[in-house]
Structure 1
Amino acid sequence: MPQLYANLSKNSTVPSVAGGILWADNVNKVFYLFGGEYTQGPPLGGSSLWGYDVILNQWNLTSSSSNKQIDRVAYGAGVSVSERAEAYYFGGYLSNKTIPGWSGPPLATSNIVKYDMARDSWSNNTGPDSIPRAEGVMVFIPASDQGLLIYFGGVTSPFGNETVLSAPMETIYIYDIASSKWYTQTATGTVPERRRRFCAGATWAQDKSSYNIYLYGGLGFPPNTTAYDDVYILTLPSFRWIKWYPTEPGPGAPHHSLTCNVINGAQMLIIGGTFPATDACDSPGVWGTHNLNLGKNNPDNAKWSMFYPDLKQYNVPSEIVAVVGGSASGGATKAAPDLGWNNRDLPIYFTRQATFTARTPTRYIPTSTSSPTPTATPSPAPKERSKTPVIAGAAVGGTIGLVATVTLLFCCLKRYRENRPERREPAELANNQPFYHVEQVDPESPEMKYHYPQSPAGEYYGVSSLNTAHSPNSQNLPNSPSPIHSSPHPALAHPTPFAPTEMA
């Protein structure tokens, strides 16, 4: 298993935040920290974009050439597209923990923010409609001419007040990067229960005849106000939901506010988060991190397995093949949704595949040295998978670098080096157009409990009475492995450390 770093350091001027995102620039070996609520004091003026230099192990402030100003938001949906040197963030909350001098309750936005890593510039575009959204997920797939962004889940507030609505999981939003146009498509199949603060990762068949988005966990709404321990797959372009795990009934180990980190398209590391149901742990040495083998490409044909560092091929699993046709290598024959397309542009997009010109680093990148190969050890039988405090998850290039960098709700850091970051002028950032009020959520509170009182209509929830549910084991500031949390899946082999500079 790749090493998780919990001993980095930072200058005190670099903020500690919750609910933000790390955008990875695989070519220049930099993580950009966008958004998030300040967890240690009020937010500082001029929400600057910090970048963590993996090679030099230091933080730097960016200096934007764009006159666009973008506000800091938290708990939206973000994704980086390193092939295009672009990063996106959709929705999220504005509050007095993100904006200096903010008064009143938090607000959510309906905009999608784009950051150009190569030009260090910003743009702020509209979402699919004027409805504010937060706490869903967004992934990238290389369909259409320049790629598509796929968004679903979370919460909305269509009334512009403090009433929020759980988003239906059969409603899928598609953003075409080339045209900057939004579309909506209805999915069918075994649709997951409505949820938020879950995670998802995307991979695809070798011939790109199917794109498969794996969803894990999340926080529920009434009557399930705790969390989920399950895996669903949304396969495109058929837009069919498939329940992949569990296959047998049982209590499981609910898990939310976490990250899904897809490695080489073949495996997905589940890292961090909150576990409201248990305090036991079966793998404290790796902070309860676990691996989902997306194609069951292992000797046991198992979904949950130890991590294989050399696995770089995704095989479409039999459960997907049974729905879309073809084989493990591709050849899907089902190329349209059961209910038909919502827009005639969409089938055209899915007949095209995005191609990208190889990027050249804009800085000196030292030659990587080979990292030690971890020795795989058998995992325990899938009965109680552990989940303990862990740290950041992010993949850079073909080699994994899980870097503990900031105290994001799912990407956390406690200790940094003493060397000061190079100071540059901050990027100019300012207002989105907010639309609705949501209750303040304090991720530092050990008593956070999610509770959405159900309205007589059975579907709407008052934000003013929100009481958001983290267990006392919320993973915000881990210092070292500790034996808390359990889960029904096998633990990973203990990691073999390697230096961050060995990322390729």
Structure 2
Amino acid sequence: MELVSTNPGSTMMLRFIALLVLASISTAQKDPLKDFCRLHSHQTTIVDRRLYIDGGLVNWSPLSADSLNYTSTWLRYGNLDEDHEGFPQQYTLAKNNSVPSVHGGVLWSDATNKVVYMYGGEYGNDKPEDFRLWFYDIVYDTWNVSNASTTDIRRASWGAGVAVQDKGRGYYYGGWLTNSSVPGYHSRTPLKNMLVYDIVANSFRNQTGPDDTPRAEGVMIYLPVGDGGFLVYFGGIQFPYGNDTVAALPMDEIYLYDIANDVWYKQTASGDEIPGDRRRFCAGAAWADDRSSYNIYLYGGASVGNGTGYGDVWILSLPSFTWIKFYPTEEDGFGDPFPHHSLTCDVIENSQMIVMGGTFPNHTTECDVADVYAQHGLDLGKANTEGAKWAKFNPNVTQYRVPTEIARSIGGEATGGATVLAPTGGWAHRDLQGEFQRHYTPTTRTPTRYIPTSTTTTAPTTSPTSIGSKSNKKTIIASAVGGGVGALLLVALVAGICLCLRRRRRNQTQGSTELPAPHTYPNSSANINASPVSQQQSSFISPSVTQYTFTPQGSPPPPTDGTWSHQFDKEGRTTSQYFSQGVPGSQSPPSRASPVAQYGYDRSRGSPVEIADARPTPFQEMPNVRSPLGFAPIPEQPQPPDIVGIDPYFSQHPPRGAGT
């Protein structure tokens, strides 16, 4: 850009400011894959052989004792059918600055309509925005805001979320309301209800939880059992006394929600051992061919109160409600693994689980297997040739075989045939027993909008580290500017440029614009169902991120040219229009500074597959990046049994800022 000014002195100053800002941008700009070191507190989901990864907190390479957490402002995806050193190759997708980047939220996927909804989470800069339901449209490769009413809905964080595909619903139980998730919120409030988003009806409702006790930082898993599927919740922390005193939710207390009958149950689990109380772990489920066992695999987690956390794997087998230790065992020949928490687990084809990211309580300066972007493979049925538990991802494995560790406890063999079909202590409720005797087969929903088919099976033409179209690169570069100095310099530069542009307009009558580049939807035809609407070509213009609010349900086929957006008429019906750059009345999304986390960070070494080479490390305090922050430590007076104060470390060591 040419800077024009009638005052040579002001021109020199503007050029100097521009150089400073460019230097700041060059320093701040990071490549989410090339510079990757660690990622945690993010959210993931799977749609059509793609593992989507959004938000979270990132550490850049090289890692040092002074490294800080920064908000990850990218949406990424891993192609499950493209190998990269034994794990899915990852790519970055464009994400405009107006789209929130949070940690501790959830992604609800609508696999039928190829849409991913983002709910909840905390802003790393402690400056949250009013809640709106953002969603990523996979077909259009763009972010938009749903027109769902959110008047009574607030953004919670660190709850347990899951999407149920055949019902078209997203569920979110418990969690927190904080000043990092709700504008102007001064307290820190744990929740006891369950939020339900009806994807088909495009509406929210609040659902009662299992009781009046608020809970957070546990997990919730969907199982195809009973009349219409069950949600299974366990782990995390709870507030049974109505104050800031926190108790762990014992791992033998299992809460189940019957979706079809809108009923909560509580069942006690047992086993030779019970997992240690924990929070911020992840889990995923697989089931035997004959449905005689549904096996939930749990990995890692942070301690409740003092402690370094966990790096082990446990299995909760239902309907026997038996806890089984899977890793490490004497057969593995390893000692205690390194603790690992604030991570995600995604089960693929009912057979393998990708454990991604996380942060480590033990001190180290090593990255989390950066060459494969912190992906770890847990083979749920040990189907690899070595019979190993931790193994590379194999896209050809699509069948779950019950491992011997489970069969020894509940009977049966690799294909099923479990003989222990009830809890050792008996069923807590007769109806629960009846539900687990019925196998639920989810139905397939029909898309409510046009879904293009594609014959291509190749990855996008962009490289794994590219950001997308030319216009999207500008968005990412702009979002990379961080820090107080960079922001002030940028403001000064913008003010100067605006002044120059006003002067230039006196001698110019028109300017040029740049339209977004075409986008091709790369999923294979085997993974995309065409709607009854007549098919169109799969290459079409991808619209810019807009502030127009709409729901993807019922949206028309994409055009073959122009920039596509949606509006609603006065009666609430969807209308469609073309919007091009420079057209009167068109809108641009407001800019938002890229948030930077205000917390410090402790580090750890290695991944589960490296435990054999692990060296003992001294005890370390829990990491600075945790939720909730600021709760009072345990008072010195006697407390009820099993009650601990949360995060007493913060009473002496408040989180430090991230360079601001």
- CA 36–313 in structure 1, closer or farther in 2 if over 3 Å, else same: same
The answer as to whether partners of 1:68 and 1:123 remain within 8 angstroms in 2 is: no
Deviation per CA, 1:305-329: give whole Å up to 9, x if none: 1110121100111111111112111
Distance 1:276 1:194 in 2: 16
Aligned to 1:206: 289
**Aligned equivalent of 2:546:** 421
Cα 1:468–1:91 change in 2 (3 A) is farther
State the percentage of identical aligned residues.
Answer: 48
Q: Is the 8 A contact 2:280 2:301 kept in 1?
A: yes
How far does the alpha carbon of each residue in 1:180-226 deviate from its partner, in whole angstroms, 9 at most, with x for none?
A: 11110000002100000000001111111100000000001345x22
Deviations 1:238-288 (A, max 9, x none): 000000000145242211000001001100000121122233358422123
Distance 2:280 2:263 in 1: 26
Partner of 1:327: 413
Does residue 461 (structure 1) correspond to residue 644 (structure 2)? The answer is: yes
Deviation at 1:418, TM superposition (A): 9.8
Report the alpha carbon displacement of residue 370 of structure 1 after superposing the two structures with TM: 5.4
**Distance in 2 between the 1:161 and 1:227 partners?**
24
- The separation in 2 between residues aligned to 1:464 and 1:217, in whole angstroms, is 18
Gap regions ≥5 residues in structure 1? 374-395, 402-416, 428-441, 477-504
Does the 8 Å CA contact 2:126/2:179 hold for their aligned counterparts?
no
* Equivalent residue for 1:114, pick from 196, 206, 216: 196
Distance 1:421 1:293, change over 3 A: farther
Q: Deviations over 1:447-503 (max 9, x none)?
A: 453699556446223348463999x9xxx9xxxxxxxxxxxxxxxxxxxxxxxxxxx
Other structure's SS at 1:255 match: coil
After TM superposition, the structure 1 = structure 2 runs for residues 3-402 of structure 1, keeping only pairs within 5 Å, are 3-5=89-91, 7-45=92-130, 47-64=131-148, 69-103=152-186, 105-189=187-271, 190-223=273-306, 225-248=307-330, 249-277=334-362, 278-281=364-367, 283-369=369-455, 371=457
Which of structures 1 and 2 has the larger relative contact order (alpha carbons within 8 angstroms, sep 6+)?
Answer: 1
Kindly provide the amino acid, as one letter, of the partner of residue 285 in structure 2.
A
Residues 407-429 of structure 1, C-alpha deviations (whole Å, 9 max, x = no match): xxxxxxxxxx99323521699xx
Alignment partners' CA distance in 2, 1:158 and 1:265: 36
Counterpart-to-counterpart distance in 1, 2:283 and 2:241: 28
Residues 174, 102 of structure 1: alpha-carbon distance in 2 compared, 3 angstrom cutoff: same
Give distance in 1, aligned partners of 2:233 and 2:126.
32
CA distance, structure 1, for counterparts of residue 368 and residue 352 of structure 2: 21
- TM-fit CA distance, 1:72: 1.1
Q: Over aligned residue pairs, what C-alpha RMSD do you find?
A: 3.0
CA distance in 1, matches of 2:268, 2:250: 10
* 2-structure distance, mates of 1:14, 1:469: 35
Residue 481 (structure 1) aligns with: none
**Amino acid of the structure 2 residue aligned with 1:75:** W
Query: When the two structures are superposed, what TM-score results if normalisation uses the length of structure 2?
Result: 0.59
Aligned to 2:371, what secondary structure does the other structure show? Answer: helix
The 1:171/1:69 distance shift into structure 2, 3 A limit, reads: same
Unaligned runs of 5+ in 2: 1-86, 460-522, 529-541, 553-595, 602-622
More helix by percentage = 2
Distance 1:354 1:187 in 2: 22
Shift of 1:116: 1.1
* Contact kept? 1:10, 1:419, Cα under 8 Å: no
Distance in 1, Cα, partners of 2:277 & 2:182:
30
Residue 409 of structure 2 aligns to a residue whose secondary structure is helix
Distance 2:212 2:544 in 1: 44
Which one is further off, 363-372 or 73-82? 363-372
Q: Please list the CA deviations of residues 54-90 of structure 1 after superposition, one character each: whole Å capped at 9, or x if unmatched.
A: 22221010112x6873221000000111122111000
| Cα pair distance change 1:116/1:164, threshold 3 Å | same
CA distance, structure 2, for counterparts of residue 421 and residue 301 of structure 1: 50
Quote the offset at 1:40 in angstroms: 3.5
Q: Deviations 1:2-52 (Å, cap 9, x if unpaired)?
A: 2223x322222111111100111111111100011122352222x111101
2:230·2:257 contact (CA, 8 Å) conserved in 1?
yes
Kept in 1: contact 2:224–2:442 (CA 8 A): no
Aligned 8 A contact 1:196 1:218 in 2: yes
Q: Which consecutive segments of 4 or more residues in structure 1 shift more than 6 A?
A: 396-401
Q: 1:356 to 1:326 in 2, by over 3 A?
A: same
Alignment CA distance shift 1:252-1:463 (3 Å) = closer
2:600 matched to which residue of 1?
Answer: 446
Q: Which amino acid aligns with 2:227?
A: D
Shift of 1:356: 2.6
Q: Residue type of the partner of 2:295?
A: N
Task: Tell me which residue corresponds to 1:384.
Answer: none
Name the count of aligned residue pairs: 416
Structure 1: distance between partners of 2:106 and 2:649 = 24
